[in-house]
A and B are shown apart, each in its own frame.
Chain A
Amino acid sequence: MILCAATVLGATLLALPLVQPQRDGTVPSPGQVARISGTVTIGIDDPQPVRRAIVSALGRSRGLSFDALTDEMGRFDLHGLPAGKYSVTVARPPHVGVAFGASRPGWPGTPIDLAPGEHVDGVQLRLVSGAVLTGTVRDEAGRPLPEVEVWVERRDATGTFARGSTAATDADGIYRAFGLPAGYYRVSARPNGSGMELHVSSDADNDAALRILESGGRQWPSGRVTSSTSEGAGRAGVVPVYHPAAVLPEDARPIILSAGEEASGVDVELRPRTSPLVSGQLVSSLPIPLTNAFLTLTRFGSSVGSASARTSGEGAFSFGRVPPGRYFVLGRVMRPERLSSLLSPGAVPTVTSWGPEPCGVVAYEIELGESDIPPLQLGVEPCFRVIASIENIGNLPESDAPLTVSLGVVAEAGGLGRSRVFTASLGSPEAPQIELAGGGELVPGKYYLDAVISAPHSREWVIDSASVDGRDILDDAQLFGRSAGDVLVKVTVSKRATLLSGVLETGDARPAPDYTIVAFPAERSYWQGTFRRVRITRPSTSGHFELTGLPAGEYFLAAVRDVAPDEWRDPAFLEEIAPMALKVSITVGSTNHQRIRITHGRQ
Chain B
Amino acid sequence: MLRTPRLISLLRRVVFVAAVAATGVAGPHRIDAGQPTQPAVGAISGVVSDGVSGRPLLGAVVSLADGRVKVSVHATADSRGRFVFMGLPPSDGYSMSVRRPGYRASDLAVRPPYVLGAALRLRAGEWLRDLPVAMWPLGSITGTVLDEKGEPLVGVPVRVLAALAVAGTTRWAAGPGTRTDDRGTYRIGGLQEGAYVVGVPAVQLLVPASISPSAAAGLPEPALGSTASRPPASGGLTIDTPEGPAVLVIGRYPAPTVAEDGSLLILPPTFYPGVTAFPLATPIDLAEGEHRRSVDFRLQSVPARTVSGRVLGLGTSNRLVARLLPESALGLGAGSEQATGVIAPDGRFTFIGVPDGRYVIDVSAGQSELALGSPHLPGTAGMVGDRYLTFFPTGMGDAYYRTHYLATQNGLVGRQSVEVGASSVRDVTITMTPGAGLSGAVVGEGGQPVADPRVSVEPADADPSRGGQALSRQAGTFAVAGLHEGEYWLRVTATRLRVKSITYRGQDFSNRPFRVQLGDDLSGVQVVMTDEYATLKGVVSAADATTAQVASVVIFPAEPSGWTRFGLTPTRIKTAVVLAGQEYQFAGLPAGDYLVAAVDHSHQYAWQDPRFFPAIAQSAARVTLSWGGTVTQPLSVQTVRLK
Contact = CB atoms under 8 A, between A and B. Distances in A.
A588 to B, nearest CB: 36
A426 interface: no
Interface stretch (A51-59, A114-122, A296-304): A51-59
B132 interface: no
A247 to B, nearest CB: 18
A193 interface: yes
A410 B33 CA distance: 62
B55 interface: no
A132 B155 CA distance: 14
Nearest to A81: B238
Among B34, B61, B129, B377, which residue has the most Cβ atoms of chain A within 10 A?
B61
Nearest to B238: A80
Nearest to B70: A312
Interface in B234-267: 234-238, 245, 250-251, 255-260
Nearest to B109: A345
Interface stretch (B75-83, B423-431, B478-486, B621-629): B75-83
Interface in A212-250: 212-213, 216-220, 223-227
Interface string B210-252: 0001000000000001110101101111100000010000110
A225 B80 contact: no
Contact of A149 (B35, B74, B227, B376): B227
Interface residues of chain A: helix, strand, loop or mixed (majority): loop
B78 A201 contact: yes
A147 interface: yes
Contacts of A343: 376-377, 380
Contact of A344 (B250, B260, B377): B377
Contacts of A202: 78
A413 B39 CA distance: 53
Contacts of A272: 76
Interface residues of B, number: 78
Nearest to B44: A225
B123 to A, nearest CB: 11
A356 interface: no
B251 A167 contact: no
Contacts of A66: 235-236, 238
Among A69, A70, A223, which residue has the most Cβ atoms of chain B within 10 A?
A69
A342 B258 contact: no
A216 B33 contact: yes
A94 B382 contact: no
B111 A346 contact: yes
A203 B78 contact: yes
Nearest to A56: B234
A54 B182 contact: no
B102 interface: yes
Nearest to A226: B75
Interface string A135-171: 0000101010111110000000000000001111011
Nearest to B86: A219
A213 B87 contact: no
Contacts of A130: 182
Given A165-B229, A199-B74, A346 B65 contact: yes
Contact of B235 (A65, A147, A168, A346): A65
A206 B84 contact: yes
Contacts of A219: 39, 41, 43, 86-87
Given A130-B182, A146-B102, A198-B76, A206 B82 contact: yes
A64 interface: yes
Interface string B546-563: 000000000000000000
B237 A68 contact: yes
A366 interface: no
A70 B258 contact: yes
B571 to A, nearest CB: 18
Nearest to A68: B237
Interface string B400-413: 00000000000000
A20 interface: no
Interface in A236-291: 272
B464 interface: no
B26 interface: no
Contacts of A141: 58-59
Contacts of B75: 198-201, 226-227
Among B74, B86, B236, which residue has the most Cβ atoms of chain A within 10 A?
B86
Nearest to A64: B235
B182 A226 contact: no
Contacts of B45: 209-210, 213
B232 A209 contact: no
Contacts of B33: 216, 218
A67 interface: yes
A113 interface: no
B473 interface: no
A88 B121 CA distance: 67
A69 B31 CA distance: 73
Nearest to A75: B258
Given A213-B43, A225-B88, A346-B65, A69 B235 contact: no
B491 interface: no
Interface in A159-214: 165-168, 170-171, 176, 178-179, 191-193, 196-203, 205-206, 209-210, 212-213
A584 B254 CA distance: 51
Interface string B93-112: 00000010110000000011
A201 B125 contact: no
Given A94-B181, A342-B376, A166 B226 contact: yes
A205 B78 contact: yes
A220 B87 contact: yes
Contacts of A346: 65, 111-112
B509 interface: no
B80 A178 contact: no
Given A69-B250, A94-B181, A198 B111 contact: no
B30 interface: no
A42 interface: no
B523 interface: no
A341 interface: yes
B469 to A, nearest CB: 15
A71 interface: yes
A514 to B, nearest CB: 25
B142 interface: yes
A91 interface: yes
A218 B84 contact: no
A71 B102 CA distance: 43
A28 interface: no
Interface in A23-41: none
Contacts of B155: 93-94
B494 to A, nearest CB: 11
Contacts of B84: 201, 205-206, 209-210, 213, 226-227
Given A209-B86, A225-B85, A147 B101 contact: yes
Interface string B268-312: 000000000000000000000001000000000000000000000
B187 interface: yes
A91 B225 CA distance: 22
A292 B258 CA distance: 57
B73 A225 contact: yes
Contacts of A166: 226-227, 229
Interface string B599-636: 00000000000000000000000000000000000000
19 contacts: A65-B234, A69-B256, A94-B154, A94-B182, A145-B101, A147-B189, A148-B101, A168-B225, A170-B142, A192-B101, A201-B76, A201-B78, A213-B84, A218-B43, A219-B41, A227-B75, A227-B86, A341-B380, A342-B376
The 6 nearest A-B residue pairs measured at CB = A65-B235, A94-B182, A219-B87, A178-B182, A209-B84, A146-B102
Interface of B: 31, 33-35, 38-39, 41-43, 45, 58-59, 61, 65, 71, 73-80, 82-88, 99, 101-102, 111-112, 125, 127, 129, 138, 140, 142, 154-155, 181-182, 187, 189-190, 213, 225-227, 229, 231-232, 234-238, 245, 250-251, 255-260, 291, 375-377, 380, 382, 384, 389, 454
